[in-house]
Amino acid sequence: MFILAALVSYTPDTLRENLLTTLEVRSAGKRRALDLYMKRGKAWETPVIENPHGTNYFDMGLVNADYLAGDTTIVLKKDLATPMLVRINQKIHFPATGETIFTSAVASDITETNTLITLDNVIRGIDGTAASDGTANNKVIVGSETLSENSQHNGSDHFTSIRQTYFTQIFKRNLEISGTTQAIEKMIANGDARFNDLVRRALDHLENVKLYQALFRGVHGASTTKKNTITGAAEDRNMCGIIDAIKRFNGITLDVAGALSTPVMDAQLAKVVNLDGPIEKELSEGGNPNSFGPSPYIGFVNATCKNRVNVLEPNRVRREQKDIYLSNYIGTYAGPLPVDFVVVPPFCLFDDEMVIVRKEQYDLAPLNGRDFAVEQLGKTGDGGKWHVIGEMGGVLHYPETAIYLHGIT
């Protein structure tokens, strides 16, 4: 599922107490808008994250070619976004013509390639429907199959699980204070304020800039020649961000190449198979969503792109901000699926980009024992040395249901 979890720093208690004595403390609500929408998962056990994933059959497709009312062979075209699992003795519905057919009881009458499914010896016009001519690209919905008691095993279905591979990534900032500065600061009130400020700014930069940048824009990859002998993971690995996961695992992508229109937006949202049941009827039909809570889907844009999104049909967009906790929440688009827009910084998404995911669909977590912390290093000279370091990784679950739009002008 989809959300940015609370990116709280887990620093030693002494450092946390010191931070509270300074005039500038990290705001607990600073990242709240994004934190609400990422899932804070259990810590990863290894730097190589293997996410089990297989084909989810939604049993919808298209007619491949025109056919006549008397034909007993019909060829279907697979839609990769909603793949079909066609079996013997199964009903198949054709909404455009209102006809329902019944597949053959012989397994060899159903043949399949990477793109097509050929059905031979089908029974036309069952359940009180009439056999009729059909045309290419009409929608097809695969119905239930009829099974006999004590029916025999008849070949295996294609539910083979695959492993989607993700990596964790190390984030680090080095700090150093000279011996002279440390000596002076020990003699003045609140003298550790300089050190606390350095840690705070380093931590803010890692969590609020570099991690968020990697979360959206990180490109999965690593050197194949430099691997750690214990973990087996490449030492210079990068975590996979949302955009790269959508591209790698056949999510929904579109080069808009112009202004974003309501028909284009609706067409992309209609491709998403909602995995968690129906949306409220009034929202899904474009009604006034003011009486409803936040949508389960989030559209991330930067401020410039949000201005470009304002061209969408006005009566589809709620612009009131009613929840003070959603500091960056600026509107809901009531299309085929309702989408709450959230503005992110321009280093996360460019001016022409939009990402739409379900809340908690992105699972962000540290490697076990490697959440952000400050560590003191051994002295190699006159001064003191520290680093703020953490190792994080993220997984985009069901990437085929996420949307990446670009080229919005």
Task: List pLDDT tens digits, range 111-153.
Answer: 888 788 999 999 999 999 999 999 999 989 888 776 667 666 5
On the question of pLDDT at 154 being above 60, the answer is no
For the chain, the structural domain boundaries read 13-53+163-408, 60-145
Q: How far apart are CA 396 and CA 217, in angstroms?
A: 13
pLDDT band of 19, cuts 50, 70, 90: very low
As a whole number, the mean pLDDT across the chain is: 75
- Please choose, from the candidates 260, 290, 296, 263, the residue with its C-alpha nearest in 3D space to the C-alpha of residue 277: 296
Of all residues in the chain, the percent with pLDDT exceeding 90 is: 17
Residue 67 β-bridge partners: 134
> pTM score, two decimals?
0.68
Helix or strand (DSSP H, E) at 216: helix 211-217
In the predicted model, is pLDDT for residue 316 greater than 90?
A: no
Most confidently modeled range among 73-82, 99-108, 293-302, 378-387:
99-108
Query: Distance between CA atoms of 144 and 147, rounded to whole angstroms?
Result: 9
Least confident residue range of 13-17, 252-256, 259-263? 13-17
Higher pLDDT, 8 or 63: 63
Torsions phi, psi for 33 (to 5 deg):
-60, -45
With a cut of 50, say whether residue 299 has pLDDT above it. Answer: yes
Q: Which residues 6+ apart lie within 8 Å of 290 measured at CB?
A: 318, 320
pLDDT in tens, 179-213: 776 666 665 555 566 777 778 888 888 888 888 88
Flag the least confident range among 48-52, 117-121, 132-136, 351-355. 48-52
Highest mean pLDDT among 49-53, 149-153, 284-288, 354-358: 354-358
List strands edge to edge, sheet with 60-63.
99-102, 90-94, 139-145, 60-63, 74-78, 116-119, 110-112
Q: Which residue has the higher pLDDT, 152 or 396?
A: 396
Sign of CA dihedral 397, 268, 347, 250: positive
Question: Which CATH number is correct for 13-53+163-408, 3.40.1350, 3.90.1690, 2.60.120, 3.30.420?
Answer: 3.90.1690
Distances (CA, A) of 340 to 48, 189, 243, 265: 33, 48, 18, 13
pLDDT (average), residues 316-322: 58
- Give the pLDDT confidence score for residue 118 in this predicted structure: 93
Q: What angle do CA 371, 43, 327 make, to 5 degrees?
A: 65
User: What confidence tier does 102 reach under pLDDT thresholds 50, 70, 90?
Assistant: very high
Where does the pLDDT of residue 167 fall: very low under 50, low under 70, confident under 90, or very high at 90 and above? confident
Is 244 within 8 Å of 394 (Cβ atoms)? Answer: no
pLDDT at 22: 34
